[in-house]
């Protein structure tokens, strides 16, 4: 018999919000090692891909699926069981629907900016004024036409389709709104069970917050390698977007100067920003929230960061969408969209390819979902341009591949990969890249290079400054590798509920 540790969602929120930069870096290293073993290890190593069972799913009720994700590491076996609503993915927004498919809070001015550690810089203006001018399609536009207002006109090839937010009434942007009458939430609901090598249960973790956190932590393994991270453009304003932004600020502040949030509703995105400024852990329960005081917490890290919000209801949406996508050093798509979120030419044209970017698509996870235009993936797998006129057009380096969390999973589940008809040799698992710097430095040293010198290979230049596209569909190993370390931290801090003699 053993002592079973149980971490509910309130425990998970308190623990994850209390992580310091050092804690997050420790979790990064542990996850990187597990992914490296998954992609490069032999069958004798428990975490290698050959020893990871495929996930399975069943329909647990109309419109609701339950997914089973088993995994192994050298020290544990685990299974995550989560339930998801099929109704998360709604019909695309068209020019006729854009006004009716959004809540009343979307009528606010489409921009939020703050350059200080408070929310005093937030400015709102209503579109309901009778003095407001009419737009080309007959919808109203703000009476105040500041440069950062946006348009309700739908853009061909740029249909924004995140989860519906009409049912969201909570003041907490991490809350779990209900869409399907059969589904308790639009976010994953379930648990991760961790077993010792002998099969004894050692921990049960609520998987709601864990799922968003571990996905963001995996993406951060690529963000940490990027030379420039000054500007982020984030599609979506739910838990995935929140944790991606939070971890990026925790790990790369003060290098981040601008965060553009493109969301369906102003209210949801505004609440996300307010939560980043919060001095206590947001809670969905009556549990007393943990106060956040040490220097690595958000109120200190967001100082000097300018946030903007863009929604599809206002004038100049097309122009601002183009500007914010083109300006980004990092693009994060965090929506379960069934249609591309922006036109492909924003990134594939001569102008679009001048700047090196990390583009991470992590919200879509089924074959019928696509956040990125498949042309962006096809452009990423092209070999570097050559020819005598290549010098006339400076382009960021391509790697010739798309980065994925799991090759088998991406080819089966990713709508973007399937639509682009990519083959296995056009994909590379993140686990093959996370230790690249170490390998490049060892190779340079073996060739007589200066010990400790920064890598100079074209592969390293691409990964740190070129155009990198990353597609994540989810992998049980992510949950187990991160979950084990979270359990260690929880035991050290005496968090959670312990069941003796289980």
- The predicted structure's pLDDT at residue 212: 95
Block residue for tokens 């544990």: 76
What is the pLDDT at residue 26? 95
In Å, how far from its chain's centre is CA 304? 22
Upstream peptide bond of 254 is cis (omega within 30 degrees of 0): yes
Digitized pLDDT (tens) for each residue of the chain, 502 residues in all: 679 999 999 999 999 999 999 999 999 999 999 999 999 877 677 667 777 888 888 987 887 889 999 999 989 999 999 998 754 433 333 222 233 333 333 333 444 444 333 333 333 322 333 333 333 333 223 323 233 333 333 333 333 333 333 333 344 445 433 333 333 345 678 999 999 989 999 999 999 999 999 999 999 999 999 999 999 999 999 999 999 999 999 999 889 999 999 999 999 999 999 988 876 555 544 344 455 555 556 777 888 899 999 999 878 999 999 999 999 999 999 999 999 999 999 999 999 999 999 999 999 888 899 999 999 999 999 986 554 444 445 678 888 999 999 999 999 999 999 999 999 999 999 999 987 766 655 555 556 666 555 555 788 889 999 999 999 999 999 999 999 999 999 999 999 999 998 8
With b meaning 16 or more CB within 10 Å and e meaning fewer, what string describes 430-446? bbbbbbbeeebbeebee
> Which is it for the CA torsion 456, 458, 462, 463, positive or negative?
negative
Map tokens 């992914």 to a residue. Answer: 35
Half-sphere exposure of 337 (CA within 13 A, CB side): 28
What pLDDT is stored for residue 438 in this prediction?
A: 61
What's this model's pTM, rounded to 2 decimal places?
0.79
Sequence-separated (6 or more) residues with CB below 8 Å from residue 141: 127, 132, 133, 134, 135, 149, 151, 152, 314, 315
Run of H or E residues at 374: helix 374-380
Query: What's the pLDDT score for residue 86?
Result: 59
Return all residues near 275 (Cβ < 8 A) that are at least 6 apart: 172, 173, 174, 242, 282
Q: What was the pLDDT predicted at 402?
A: 95
Is the distance from CB of 179 to CB of 84 less than 8 angstroms? no
d(C-alpha 399, C-alpha 426), whole Å: 10
Distance CA 463, CA 458 (A): 9
* Residue closest to 367 by CA, chosen among 420, 415, 334: 415
Report the pLDDT value the prediction gives residue 456, as an integer from 0 to 100. Answer: 59
Looking up tokens 């249609």 gives 339
CA distance 456 to 444: 9
Laid out side by side, the sheet with 77-85 consists of 56-61, 64-72, 77-85, 189-195, 201-206, 4-7, 497-499
Q: What is the pLDDT of residue 149?
A: 35
pLDDT at 324: 97
């Amino acid at each position: 018999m053993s002592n079973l540790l149980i971490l509910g969602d309130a425990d998970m929120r308190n623990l994850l919000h209390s992580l310091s930069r050092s804690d997050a870096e420790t979790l990064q290293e542990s996850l990187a090692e597990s992914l490296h073993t998954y992609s490069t290890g032999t069958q004798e190593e428990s975490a290698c891909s050959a020893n990871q069972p495929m996930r399975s799913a069943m329909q647990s009720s109309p419109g609701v699926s339950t997914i089973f994700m088993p995994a192994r590491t050298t020290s544990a076996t685990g299974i995550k069981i989560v339930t998801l609503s099929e109704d998360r993915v709604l019909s695309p927004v068209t020019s006729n629907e854009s006004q009716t498919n959004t809540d009343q809070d979307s009528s606010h001015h489409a921009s939020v900016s703050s350059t200080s550690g408070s929310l005093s810089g937030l400015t709102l203006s209503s579109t309901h004024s009778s003095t407001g001018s009419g737009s080309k399609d007959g919808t109203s536009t703000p009476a105040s036409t500041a440069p950062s207002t946006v348009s309700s006109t739908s853009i061909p090839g740029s249909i924004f389709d995140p989860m519906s937010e009409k049912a969201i009434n909570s003041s907490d942007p991490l809350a779990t709104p209900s869409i399907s009458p059969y589904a308790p939430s639009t976010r994953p609901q379930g648990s991760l069970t961790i077993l010792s090598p002998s099969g004894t249960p050692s921990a049960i973790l609520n998987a709601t917050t864990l799922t968003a956190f571990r996905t963001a932590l995996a993406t951060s393994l690529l963000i940490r390698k990027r030379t420039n991270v000054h500007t982020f453009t984030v599609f979506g304003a739910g838990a995935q977007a929140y944790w991606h932004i939070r971890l990026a600020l925790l790990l790369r502040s003060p290098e981040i100067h601008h965060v553009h949030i493109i969301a369906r509703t102003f209210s949801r995105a505004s609440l996300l920003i307010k939560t980043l400024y919060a001095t206590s852990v947001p809670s969905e329960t009556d549990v007393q929230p943990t106060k956040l005081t040490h220097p690595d917490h958000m109120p200190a890290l967001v100082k000097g960061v300018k946030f903007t919000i863009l929604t599809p209801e206002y004038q100049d949406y097309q122009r601002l969408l183009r500007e914010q996508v083109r300006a980004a050093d990092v693009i994060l798509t965090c929506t379960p969209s069934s249609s591309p979120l922006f036109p492909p030419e924003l990134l594939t044209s001569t102008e679009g390819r001048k700047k090196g970017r990390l583009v991470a698509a992590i919200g879509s996870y089924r074959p019928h979902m696509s956040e990125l235009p498949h042309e962006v993936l096809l452009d990423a797998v092209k070999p570097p341009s050559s020819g005598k006129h290549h010098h006339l057009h400076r382009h960021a380096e391509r790697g010739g591949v798309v980065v994925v969390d799991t090759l088998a999973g991406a080819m089966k589940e990713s709508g973007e990969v399937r639509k682009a008809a990519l083959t296995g040799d056009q994909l590379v698992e993140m686990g093959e890249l996370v230790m690249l710097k170490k390998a490049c430095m060892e190779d340079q040293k073996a060739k007589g290079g200066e010990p400790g010198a920064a890598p100079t290979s074209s592969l390293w230049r691409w990964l740190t400054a070129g155009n990198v596209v990353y597609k994540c569909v989810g992998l049980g190993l992510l949950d187990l590798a991160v979950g084990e370390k979270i359990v260690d931290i929880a035991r050290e801090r005496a968090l959670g509920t312990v069941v003796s003699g289980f």
